[in-house]
Amino acid sequence: MEYDFELKVNETVDKFPSSAGKTHIIRRRVPRNVTSRCGVTSGMNQGTAESLRVKTHAEIQTKPALKGTNRSKRFVSLPRYVEVLVVADESMAWFHGDDLRHYLLTLMSVAAMLYRHPSIMNQISIVVVDMLVISEPEEGPKISSNAALTLRNFCTWQRRLNKANDEHPEYWDTAILFTKQDLCGATTCDTLGMADVGTMCDPKRSCSVIEDDGLPSAFTTAHELGHVLNMPHDNVKACEMFGKIKDNHMMSPTLIQIDRSSPWSRCSAAIVTNFLDAGHGDCLLDKPQKLLALPEGSPGTTYSLSRQCELTFGSGSKPCPYMQPCSKLWCTGKTRGQLVCQTRHFPWADGTSCGNNKICYRGACTSRNTTTGWSIKSANGQWAKWGAYGACSRTCGGGVQLAKRECSSPVPENGGKYCEGLRVKYRSCNLETCKHSGKSFREEQCGSFNNFSLNTSRLGPSVMWVPKYSGVSTKDRCKLICRASGTGYFYVLAPKVVDGTLCSPDTSAVCVQGKCFKAGCDGRLSSNVKFDKCGVCGGNNQNCQKFSGVFTKPVHGYNFVITLPVGASNIDIRQRGYRGLVNDDNYLAIKNIHGQYLLNGNYVVSTVSQHIIVNGTTLRYSGTSTAVEKLQAVRPLQEPLIVEVLSVGKMTPPRVRYSYYRTKVKEGKLLKKEGRKHAQNSILADTKKAQLNKLAYQKSSSKWITSDWEECSVSCGNGFQQRLVQCLDSNGKMSGYLEQVFLKILLLLKKKLYNMVVDDRN
């Protein structure tokens, strides 16, 4: 017989799609093909959608907030202590009797030894802080053949018993229930264990259920703990970057026989390292104050070969004769009344006698004097020299180079400590500014997936992808989360953005290996250089000028408020609801100089918050479902924008306040008191326009730009239309010449209104 593993997607978990949220099942079956694998579709795909689980107009839900990640711990190898509560039910007490405590601690000792192996590339200690035996069923969780329900019941039960604070000496990080109950999955009763993936440090869900199957249950325990530590199976797409991985590691989907010289694959080591570096394992950093001592000797010295058969195959089972010693445990059993030999494909326990002065070790019969492992002194590891820095992640705009070192001089041996300290160092590179393309680096990464519809009917073949910022939690900022343009559907298109990508549009911090690091506005990591108020990197605010104003007198429809010029930064526009009302029928709107609405146009408004990207600058909009409607931007605008307020319904008076900063220019080039004037609903008379056209003609470098007429404000009766008239220079910026001529005119952009009679005919 062999172990067969599969994942069961937990559809009730409403969280950010990843490997977390899947229920892990271990199955036992009679082998027909020892190389077979379960058909598991992992959510941890590199370069493709992390999941097709979709949410529309909702905040991204993530795991409950854990301890805050300390940035100094990133890329640092630190000792971790997994504090475990071990629970046994009544069936375990009945089967094992007085040996129950020693048996369970033996299983945990074998699992702990596996986690001390250097192939996991971390210093992880499995410690037992408490053990509970449920003597009366009503005192413990409800245990049944339904593995999933048993797991849920156990998780809830252990949560009530646990202490509230991780600093308490009796607090545990995860709990394991051992039972002799035959556990069943959705279709079969071959289930040997179940746990949720990536739940370590989540006190409500960090737990496992194990069906006791003899000493090999130690490997089941280690495998389940691996899933709790976020390790997927070795055959998932995320592991393909590590090349072909053999099926004899701890996280193989078909657990046949573990390679004890390297029990953990490179993929498992990398994923658990990323999990811990991201701060998800911070509850493991405290050293346990109270723990139970684990047996130090090899399990085979305590449990004879005959007892190993009974523990695995039941009372009366004996070792089969004439079998090769140590490599596989073959034991007698009965099938349809016939005496047969059967195996789980696991070797005899280490320390089992296999001849005169010989014992088993890692599946081979060796001399007792040369055996390593439990009987030899451990050796701690030491760091090797730093490797060379790799290639820069970007050709311009501030990339990142990484250098790594390995714990290989020497490698830890026989349970020795793994190296502590910095394992990766990084530096900035290619800091020169990129040629402006009108898109941010994150936009370009999302755009690289254009026309990639993820094989879902929700999206058309010509889908366009844009970054999603609103609703993304702090710890997910360095994932490539993109939204299908024009829809509410969003996906994780890559588990991490390219190194050097800004963590968010309003910060200078950059992403390095999926984590957010401090950087200056100059793009250099650890730099303290910042933007000043007018958006100048390294500026001192001395050349900044603030412009502000108020708009309070609307007419029905869209009302001009202010034109935000190129270079405007730290923009703050607020529309306070009339008498504190959320719905006062006044809404902020934005359009470009060509008359195209970017926000709340065509009498359609957005109630939810969103980020609007305009030529590389991001505007944060609060949505209309708030008493104070906000539109804000930190970085300088790369093109002028027109702010309006849409007034409809009862025509309650709006109160729009706006302010922004801009770099000062020489006298006569800027309206000095523009910010102190109030925007008015004015009509640019034809005579004035003629005069302006004449002056503009004299200044050949400037020209009038007019937008198309908008729709009439009413469908019948007397209404009005409006269009925008703007004087721009040859660079598309507001003309300074016009400002010189009309110092007393506040608005550079005027409206022309005329009455229009619509014939109301049916």
Cβ 129 vs Cβ 108: under 8 Å: no
Tokens 């089967």, residue located: 95
Q: Could you give the C-alpha distances from 518 to 380, 523, 529, in angstroms and in order?
A: 34, 10, 11
Known binder of ligand: residue 644? no
Amino acid at 450: N
What's the DSSP call for residue 65?
P
- What residues have CB less than 8 Å from 296, skipping those under 6 apart? 109, 374
| DSSP letters spanning 741-759 | HTTT---SSEE--EEEEE-
- The one catalytic residue in 2, 90, 211, 224 is 224
286 marked among binding-site residues: yes
Structure tokens at 206: 């960090």
Residue 679 · residue 746 · CB < 8 Å: yes
- Give the burial string for 89-100 (b: 16+ CB within 10 Å, else e): bbbbeebbeeeb
Q: Does residue 83 have a known ligand-binding role?
A: yes
**Nearest one of 292, 76, 83 to 174, comparing CA atoms:** 83
Using only C-alpha atoms, the chain has a radius of gyration, in whole angstroms, of: 34
DSSP E strands: which ranges in 565-639?
A: 569-576, 586-592, 597-599, 610-614, 617-621, 628-633
Q: 588 pairs with which residues across the strands?
A: 645
What lies within 8 Å, CB to CB, of 160 at 6+ separation is: none
Helix (H, G, I), strand (E, B) or coil at 26: strand
Nearest to 347 by CA among 363, 358, 361, 359: 363
Instruction: Tell me if 233 is assigned to a ligand binding site.
Output: yes
Cα–Cα distance measured from residue 61 to residue 55, given in angstroms and rounded to the nearest whole number: 10
Cα distance between residue 562 and residue 566, in whole Å: 13
Contact yes or no for 329/312 (Cβ under 8 A): yes
Whether the bond into 410 is cis, omega within 30 of 0: yes
CA distances from 190 to 2, 177, 187 (A): 11, 17, 9
Q: Which residue, 83, 535, 566, 10, is CA-closest to 281?
A: 83
592 contacts: CB under 8 Å, gap ≥ 6: 598, 614, 639, 640, 641, 642
What φ, ψ does residue 433 adopt, rounded to 5°? -65, 135
Chain centroid to Cα 295, Å, comes to 39
Hey, what are 684's tokens?
Answer: 């640019």
Backbone angles phi, psi at 611, to 5 degrees: -110, 130
Distances 436 to 57, 394, 395, 440 between C-alpha atoms, Å: 31, 15, 14, 9
Residue 444 annotated among the catalytic residues of the structure: no
In 10 A of CB 159, how many CB atoms? Answer: 15
Residue 283 among known ligand-binding residues: yes
| Residue among 512, 451, 443 nearest 478 (CA) | 512
Q: Are 744 and 738 in contact (CB under 8 A)?
A: no
Q: Which of 376, 377, 375, 345 is nearest to 363 (CA)?
A: 345
Terminal C-alpha separation, the chain: 82
How far is residue 252's CA from residue 35's CA, in Å, rounded to a whole number?
11
Q: CB–CB of 136/93 below 8 Å?
A: no
- Mark the binding-site residues, compressed into ranges: 38, 83, 166, 173, 223, 227, 233, 283, 286
- Mark the binding-site residues for Zn(2+), compressed into ranges: 38, 223, 227, 233
Catalytic residues: 224
